[in-house]
Structure 1
Amino acid sequence: MKFHITPTVFIFFLSLLATMGYSQNISKKITGNVFEATSNQPIEYATIAIVQNATGKPITGTITDSNGLFTLETNATDFYIEVSFMGYAPQVFRDFKLVKNKIDLGLITLTEDLNTLGEVLVRAEKSQTEFKLDKRVFIVGSDISSTGASSLEVLNSVPSVNVSIEGVISLRGSQGVQVLINGKPSVLASADGNALGTITADMIERIEVITNPSAKYNASGTAGIINIVIKSSEKRGLNGAASLNAGVPNSNSFGLSLNKRTEMFNLFTQLGFGKRTFKTKSKSTNKDFVNDSTITNNERSTFNEKFGSLLLGTDFHINDRNVLTLSGTYAFEIEDQLANSYFDKFFEETTRTDSWLRQDNTEATNPKIRYELQYKKDFKRHEDQDLLFSALGNSFAKDQKSIYNNTTSFGDEPNTLQETRTDYKLEDFTFKLDYTHPFLEKYTLETGSQYDINNVSNDFEVRDFINEEWISNPDLTNVFNFDQKVFALYSTMAFEDDVWGLKLGLRLESTNLTTELKTTNALNKKSYANFFPSVHTSYNIHDNFSLQLGYSKRISRPGLRQLNPFNNIRNNYSISRGNPDLQPEYTDSFELTSIHKLEKASLNFSLYNRYTTDVVENIISFENSISTSQPENIGTSNTVGFEFNSKYTFARWFTVTSDFNINYFNRKGEFELEIFDFKGTRWTTSLTSKFKLPKEFDLEVAGNYNSKFASVQGEISDNFFADMGVRKKILKGKFILNLSVRDVFATRVDERIVSQPTYYTSNSSKRGRFIVFGVSYAFGKGEAMEFSGQR
C-alpha cells in the first residue's frame, strides 16, 4: 500500500503552527517513526503536533520523511503530542518519558478511520479543473500524483496545454509561454534543458493557466502564463535525469540535471554540452521591370554550433514562511558557418549575362552569464498573502568575424573580397517587487513595481580588400549603442465568489530609450510614459461551464535588431537594416472566452478583437536590382478573430488536441505619400494525436498548417509541416528511449513575396527534416526526461 496523498488541509494546518509558546526551559528533542497498521509501511507527510494542554492550541510541529521518521524540538513544559494523517485515526500521547531531555515515541502505528476515509478518497482521487476569475486552476489529485510522472506529463493533462515528446510546451497552440514556479521565474522552468523533469507529480499542488494576463504582468505581454505551484512539504531526497542524444543532421548532446531536497535546502544543478548542425536552403529572386533585369540566388549554408553550460542554484527555506533563492548559469558557444550563394544575372529573364559565387565563412564565440536572487515571504494571516522580490541579471557577448569572397564564373562582374567584424555586448537587469493581500474573504489587492535595464553595444566594421590592402568602409562601419530603461508600477483589485468575479488593474510604464551611432555622433533620445488598464470578469454558469471576458492594453517596443541601422551585407542584392526612429506599437485587446469541461473533453471558444496603432512593417525600397528592407510605422490594424482549441480523450490510450484560429484584418496606413490600405484573412490550425501503445510505447503525431495571407506590399505564402515522435518507457519510466522527427516530409518552407508595379522580389528558406534519438535515465523519484539541448 503506497502513501502519496499529500493532504492540503494538513499542509495548511502546519502553516498555522506559529503560536510559539516557548518557555525559557531546556529544549526537548522528540523523535519517532510512523507506520501504517495494516501494511506495516512507513507513512510520509504524517503530521506531528505539539499542543498546549491548557488551551489546546498548537505550539510547533513537523511532518515525517519518506521513511516515516520525524525529529523536532520544543521548549514547552505543559503539552501533549498528536500524530495524525488524513484518513487515519490520530494518536495522542499525554504520558511519555523524558530521558536526558529526549522523548522517544518509538514505533507509532496509525489505523484507517473508515468514517472519514471515503470522503477523503472522493475528494482527492481525481484531478480537477476549477475556473477562477482570470485563470484556470488544475488541482493535481492522487490519480496523477501517485504515478511518479514528471511535471511535463502533468502539464499534458491540463486543458489547453500541450507538451510534445521533445518537451516543448504550448498554450492554445502557441509556444510563446512563460512558465513560473510558485509565481516567480526560475531556472527550473527554463527551456534550455530538462530541469523541469526533476519536478515530479507528487511535488505539485496545482497548475494555474493564465491566457490573458492582467496589469500585474509586463505590458509587452506573452502568449500566456503557466504557474506550477509546488507543495510546501515537497519531496525530500535526490531527483535527477541524465540524457544522451544523437541526431541527423548532427545533433549530439549530453545533459545532466540534479535536484537535492532537504528540510531547509533545495539544491539544483544542470550540466549540458553538445554539438549541433543546421543546414538551410534559401532562394531569392529580384526582378527589375524598369531595367528588364533579373538576379537569382540559390544558397546552401551549414551552421555548426558547439555549446556547454553549467547551472548552480539553491532555494534556502529560512523557515516555513521565508524562502531565499540564489542561482547562476554560465554558458559558452562556438559557432562557425559556411554558405555558398550562386548568383545569376539575366536580361529580359532569358539571357544570362553574369554568374558568380559568393562564399561566406563566419566564426563566432558567445559567452553567456545569468544570475538571480529571489526572496519570497508568506504571511501568517492568510495563505495567499505573500511578498516577492527578485533581481535577475543577464550578460551576453559575441565576437564574430566573417569573410565574403565573390568569384565570377561568367560575365564581367569583378572578383571581390570583403570582411566584417562584430564586437557585441549585452547586459540586462530586472528588479521586481510584488505584494498580494487578500481581505474580507472575497477581495484581493495586488501591487508592485518593476525596473528593467537593457544596455547593448554593437561595434561593427566592414572592410574591402583593395590593391592588396584591407580598407575600412566608412559608409558601413559604426558603433551602435542601445540603452533602454523601463520603470513600472501596478495595482489590481479583484472580487471573486463562487459564481461571479471582477478584476480591475492599472499599470504605469515609463520608458527612457537612447540610441547612438557613436562614430557619426547621431544621438536619438525618446522618453514616454503610458497607462495600461486591464479589466477581467468571469461568470461560472455551472461547475463545467464558464464565461470569461477580458480587456487589456499592450505595448510592443522595437528591439535592437529593428533599431540597429547597420546593413546586413551577406546578400548584397537583398539588404536588411534597422530604423533608430521606430516608435512602439500599441494594442487594445478584447477577448470573450467560453470554457467547457466535459467528461472526456475540454473545449474553449474565443472571440477577440485587437486594434493596433503605429503598426511596424518591413518596407522594401528597390533600386538597381537591390532591395533594401527597413521597418517603419505604417498606420493601424484592426483584427477580429475566432479561436477554438480542444483536448479530447477518446480512450485512456488515445488523446487528440486541436487548435484553430482564423482572423480578418483591416489595414490602413500611409508612408511617404504612398497609401497602404488593404484587407485580408489569415488562419492557422494544428492537430496533435497521442497514443499510449502496449509495452509502454507512446506515439505522437502532429500536423500544422498556416494559410497564405496578404502583407503590406505583397503576401506571405502558406506552409504545412508535420512532426512525430515515439517514446519507450523502461523500468516504470526510469529509462526512456525517444525518437523524434521534425518536419517529417520536409515541407516547411518560409516564403515572402513582394509584388509592385516596378519590381518583384521573393525570398524563401527551408531547413528540412531533423531526426533525433535520445536515451534518458532518472535518478530518485519520477520519470526520466530528455535533454533538448536548445540554445
Structure 2
Amino acid sequence: MKFHFPYIFIFFLSLLITHGYAQNASTKITGKVIEATSNQPIEYATIAVMQNATKTPITGSISDSKGLFSVETNATDFYIEVNFMGYATQIIKAFKINKNKIDLGVISLAEDLNTLGEVLVRAEKSQTEFKLDKRVFIVGSDISSTGASSLEVLNSVPSVNVSIEGVISLRGSQGVQVLINGKPSVLAAADGNALGTITADMIERIEVITNPSAKYNASGTAGIINIVIKSSEKRGLNGSMSLNAGVPNSNSFGLSLNKRTDRFNLFTQLGFGKRTFKTKSKSLNKDFVNDSTIISNGKSTFDEKFGSLLLGTDFHINDRNVLTLSGTYAFEIEDQLAKSFFDKVYNETTLTDSWLRQDNTEATNPKIRYELQYKKDFKRHEDQDLLFSALGNSFAKDQKSVYTNTTSFGDEPNSLQETRTDYKLEDFTFKLDYTHPFLEKYTLETGSQYDINSVSNDFEVRDFTDNQWISNPDLTNVFNFNQKVFALYTTLAYEDDIWGLKLGLRLENTDLTTELQTTKVLNEKSYGNFFPSVHTSYNINENFSLQLGYSKRINRPGLRQLNPFNNIRNNYSISRGNPDLQPEYTDSYELTSIHKLEKASLNFSLYNRYTTDVIENIISFENSVSTSQPENIGTSNTMGFEFNSKYNFYKWFTLTSDFNINYFNRKGAFETQTFGFKGNRWTTSMTSKFKLPKEFDLEISGNYNSKFVSLQGEISDNFFADMGVRKKILKGKFILNLSIRDVFATRVDERIVSQPSYYTSNSYKRGRFVVFGISYAFGKGEAMEFSGQR
C-alpha cells in the first residue's frame, strides 16, 4: 500500500485537473449553410447554440457570403439551431466533439412555405410613388421575398405588361427602352432573355417614364423603364437554360448566366437555333386607262439559322465607382424561297398572260456589339452621379437573289434576273450625363451625346440576255449614308411632396450626307434644332396625381426611307426610298391623370400632336406598275384620348386593357396634287391573366386595329389574338411554356390605294405560330424562357 499510494494519488489528482481544464476549455463549432434546391450558399443565416434544459440561447453567429460560420461555446449541455428567414429551421442534437471541435459539415435549408406566408403578411408592401415626370414602383418584401424574376416584377407595375413570351409593353406599345441603373445594358436587350437572370430580391425600384424630357434623345421612344438594382446585393450565381420547339420551325437553345461577387457581376448568354417564317401575299393592280388588271398570289418561306454569344462584366472598383464592359457576336444564315403566280386580264374578262415568278435568296449576316460604361456615385447625395458610355455596333449583309419568270400562258418570254447586295453598317454612340441635386428640392441634369451612323450599300441588278449576265445601269449603284448627330442638354427641376416643375432644353445638330457613288449624285444636309420640354405634376393625394407635359420631337428618315434602290420581288408593285427626305418635327402635349385604387390602377390621357413635313408613301402608277416612294407632305394635327388600366380582380385573375382613339386633320400638297383629308382611328387591346391551381398560368390577349383613311386610300382593320400557358415545377426552377401567336390566323395587313385612273390592293399574312419550351433555372429565382428573337 505504501508503494502504490503515491501513484494512486497522482492518478486521481490528474483526473481532477483534467476535469477542471475541460470545464474551462471552449468548443469551436464550424460548418456551411446552403439552400437545398440550388446548393447555393446562404449569407446571414443564424447559427444559435441553445441550452438543452431551458431551450434558451447561449451564444450564436451568422454565416458569411460563402455560407461559412464559426462559433465557440464553453457550455457542455447544448444543441444547435440553424435558421434563415423563409426557410425551415434545422435543429442539430447529434454531433461529435473531436479535440474541442465540432464540424457540422454542409447544412441544407429548405424553404418553409408556411413561414414565408407569415412573413409576406407582415412585410413591407410594394407601392407606387408619383414623381415629377415619372412613376416609381418601390419593390417591397411582398415581391422581393418570392424568388420571382425581374419580368414577373414588371408585371406588377401599373401601365406595364409582360407577355408570357417576355415581350414588354408600356401603355399598350412595345417601343419601350429598358435601362439598368439609368444606362443601356445588354442585360436589357430585346433579343434575348438575360433580363430574366435578375431576380426580385436584387431590385430596389422600377421607374416608368411615359413622356421623356430633354435628357433623352429627341427622336424618342414610346417610353422608358429604368430598373434600379440594389448596390449591396450579392446573390451568387443566377441563370437559366431553355429549349424551344415550334411550328413553323422555331427551334432554339439558350443559356444565360449571371454571377455576382463582392466586386464583379459577370454575365454571359449563348443562343442558337433555326426559325421559319411563312408568308402569304396578294396584290391587285387595276389600270383604268388601259382597262387591264394584274393579279398576283404568292407564298414565301424564310429560313433563318442563328447563333450568338454575349460576354460582359460590371466591375465595382469601390462602393461608388462601377465599370461595365460587354460584347456580343452573332451570325445569321438566311434562305428564302418565294413563288408568285401572276395573271394579266384585259377588260376584266379576257386572260392574256399567266406566269410564275420565283425568288431564291441567300444571305449571311455577321453582327458585333460592344459597350464600355463608367458610373460614379457621389458621397454628397445618393442621387448625384456621373455616367459615361461608349457603344459600338456593326452589321453586314452579303446577299444574292435570283428571280425566274416562267410563262404558262401568253406570249411573254421567260426571263432570268439576279440581284447582289453588299451591305455594311456601323453605329457609334458616346454619352456623358451628370445629375446634381441641391437645396433639397432642386435637381440639375446636364450632358451631351454624339452619334455616328455610317452605311454603305453596294447594290447590283443583272439581266440574263443573249446567254450572258448584263448589269442593268438604271438599277445598279452604290449608296453611301453618313449621319452625325451632336447633342447638348440641360434640365432643371423643382419637386416637393405636392407639386413639381421640370424645364429642359436640348440642342441637336445633324450632319447628313447621302451619295449615289456610281452616278455621282451627292446630297448634303446640315441642320440644328432646339428641343424644349416642360413637365409639371400635382399630387392631389397619395392615390391621385395629375401630370402635364410638353416636348418637341424629331423623326429623322431611316435608312430604308432614304435608300433609293428598288425592291423588285414583285416587279408590278415596287417600293424604294428617297434620299431627299427631310425630317418630321412634332410638338407634343399630354395631360395625364393617374389613379391608384385598392385593386386597380387607371390612367387617362388627353394629347395633341402637331407635325410638320409629314412623311408619307406616295404611289405612282404607270403601265400597270405601282411604285411607292416616301415624300414630305404638309402637316398633321392629331387630337387623341388614351385609357389604360390594370385591375387585380382576385389574386388569381388580372385584367389589363388599353384603348386609344385619335382624330387627325391632314393638309398638304405634292407636285400638282393636293392632299388634305380628315379621319380617325382607334386601337384596343385586352390581356387576361389567370393563376390556376397546380402552378399553371394562363394568358389570353386580343388586339384590334380599326380601319382608317390614308393619303391616297385606306388601311384595312385587323384583329388577332394570342394565348399562352405556363406550368411551374419545383417552385419555378422548371418552367414548361406553350405559346400560340395569332390563334385564329386573322392578322392580315392590307393597304388599298384608290385613285381616278387606277386601283391597287396589297395584303400580307404570316399566320399562326405555336411554340413549346422548357426552361431550367440556376441559383435564385425562376427559370425564364429563351425566346430566340432575332
Note whether the superposition's TM-score is higher than 0.5.
yes
How many angstroms apart in 1 are the aligned matches of 2:348 and 2:184? 55
- Does 2:772 match 1:747? no
CA distance in 1, matches of 2:148, 2:411: 66
Cα distance in structure 1, aligned partners of 2:412 and 2:200: 65
Q: Once the 2 structures are TM-superposed, how far is the Cα of residue 236 of structure 1 from its aligned partner?
A: 2.7
Q: 1:45, CA displacement in angstroms?
A: 6.3
- Do the aligned partners of 1:736 and 1:784 also contact (CA within 8 Å) in 2? yes
| 1:675 corresponds to | 674
Equivalent AA in structure 2 for residue 624 of structure 1: N
Structure 1: which 5+ runs fail to align? Answer: 1-31, 36-40, 48-61, 71-84, 87-119
Q: How many residues are treated as equivalent by the alignment?
A: 696
CA shift, 1:432, in A, is 0.2
**Counterpart amino acid of residue 390 in structure 1:** S
Aligned: 1:605 with 2:604: yes
Following superposition of structure 1 onto structure 2, how do residues 596-635 of structure 1 map, counting pairs within 5 Å? 596-635=595-634
Instruction: Confirm or deny that 1:765 pairs with 2:764.
Output: yes
Q: Does the aligned pair in 1 maintain the 2:620–2:627 contact within 8 Å? A: yes
- How far apart, in 2, do the equivalents of 1:130 and 1:518 lie? 55
Contact 1:750 1:764 in 2 (8 A): yes
Question: 1:348 Cα deviation (Å)?
Answer: 1.2
2:120–2:142 Cα contact (<8 Å) kept:
no
Q: Which residue is 1:145 aligned to?
A: 144
Listed one character per residue, the Cα deviations across residues 524-567 of structure 1 (whole Å, up to 9, x for unaligned) are 00000000000000000000000000000000000111111111
- 2:383 is aligned to 384
SS at match of 2:402: strand
Scaled by the length of structure 1, the TM-score of the pair is: 0.86
Instruction: Provide the secondary structure at the position in 2 that maps to 1:695.
Output: coil
**2:360 maps to what in 1?**
361
3-state SS, counterpart of residue 213 of structure 1: coil
1:567 aligned onto 2:566: yes
Residue type of the alignment partner of 2:548:
L
Would you say the 8 A contact 1:183–1:228 is kept in 2? Answer: yes
Q: Does residue 494 of structure 2 align to residue 501 of structure 1?
A: no
Q: Is contact 2:239–2:255 with CA below 8 Å preserved after alignment?
A: yes
Correspondence 1:125-524 to 2 at 5 A? 125-524=124-523
Rounded Cα–Cα distance in structure 2 between residues aligned with 1:444 and 1:690 = 40
Distance 1:348 1:726, change over 3 A: same
For 1:182 and 1:545, how far apart are their aligned partners in 2?
27
Hey, what's the Cα distance between the residues in 1 that align with 2:729 and 2:190? 25
Q: Deviations over 1:752-780 (max 9, x none)?
A: 00000000000000000000000000000
Counterpart CA distance in 1 for 2:41 and 2:373 is: 35
| Aligned residue number for residue 693 of structure 1 | 692
Distance 1:417 1:34, change over 3 A: closer
Q: Which protein shows a greater Rg?
A: 2
SS at match of 1:202: helix
Shift of 1:569: 1.0
Cα distance 1:181–1:565, how it changes in 2: closer, same or farther (>3 A)? Answer: same
Distance 1:287 1:64 in 2: 77
In the alignment, the residues of structure 2 paired with residue 252 and residue 458 of structure 1 have an alpha-carbon distance, to the nearest angstrom, of 32
1:234, CA displacement in angstroms?
Answer: 1.8
Give the SS at the match of 1:727.
strand
Residues 8-56 of structure 1 show CA distances to partners (whole Å, capped at 9, x for unaligned) of xxxxxxxxxxxxxxxxxxxxxxxx9999xxxxx9984699xxxxxxxxx
Tell me if structure 1 keeps the 8 A contact 2:42–2:63: no
Tell me by how many angstroms 1:69 deviates: 6.1
Give the structure 2 partner of residue 10 of structure 1: none
Q: Secondary structure at the match of 1:197?
A: helix
Partner-residue secondary structure (3-state), 2:598: coil
Shift of 1:193: 1.1
Task: Assess if the C-alpha contact under 8 Å between 1:236 and 1:263 holds in 2.
Answer: no
1:123: Cα distance to partner?
A: 9.3
Q: TM-score, normalised by structure 2?
A: 0.86
> CA 1:759–1:45 in 2, change beyond 3 Å: closer, same or farther?
farther
Q: Distance in 2 between matches of 1:195 and 1:487?
A: 31
Q: Quick check: 1:655 aligned with 2:654?
A: yes
Residue type at the aligned position of 1:570 = R
Q: 1:142 to 1:33 in 2, by over 3 A?
A: farther
Q: How do 1:57-72 residues align onto structure 2 when only pairs under 5 Å count?
A: 65=65, 67=67
SS at match of 1:148: coil
2:517 equivalent to 1:539 = no
Aligned equivalent of 1:108: none
Secondary structure at the aligned position of 1:534 is classed as strand
1:370-415 CA-partner distances (Å, limit 9, x unpaired): 0000000000000000000000000000000000000000001111
Query: What residue is the counterpart of 1:639 in the other structure?
Result: 638
CA distance in 1, matches of 2:222, 2:164: 21
Residues 574-617 of structure 1, C-alpha deviations (whole Å, 9 max, x = no match): 01111110000000000000000000000000000000000000
Q: RMSD in angstroms over aligned alpha carbons? A: 2.1
1:45–1:233 Cα contact (<8 Å) kept:
no
Q: Is the 8 A contact 1:605 1:644 kept in 2?
A: yes
Matched letter for residue 422 of structure 1: T
Whole-angstrom distance in 1 between the partners of 2:332 and 2:688: 36
CA distance in 2, matches of 1:612, 1:265: 47
Say whether the 8 Å CA contact 1:273–1:306 is kept in structure 2.
yes
How far has the Cα of 1:350 moved from its partner? Answer: 1.6
Amino acid in the other structure paired with 2:630: P
Shift of 1:65: 2.6
Q: Is the 8 A contact 2:660 2:682 kept in 1?
A: yes
Shift, 1:121, TM fit? 9.0
Query: Secondary structure of 2:397's match?
Result: strand
Between the aligned residues of both structures, percent identity stands at: 89
Distance 1:593 1:64 in 2: 48
Measure, in 1, the Cα distance between the counterparts of 2:158 and 2:234. 26
Q: Secondary structure at the match of 2:196?
A: helix
Q: Which residue of 1 aligns with 2:582?
A: 583
Conservation of the 8 A alpha-carbon contact between 1:66 and 1:236:
no
CA distance in 2 between counterparts of 1:534 and 1:682 reads 27
In structure 2, the partner of 1:8 is: none
| C-alpha distance 375-124 of structure 1, shift in aligned 2 (>3 A) | farther
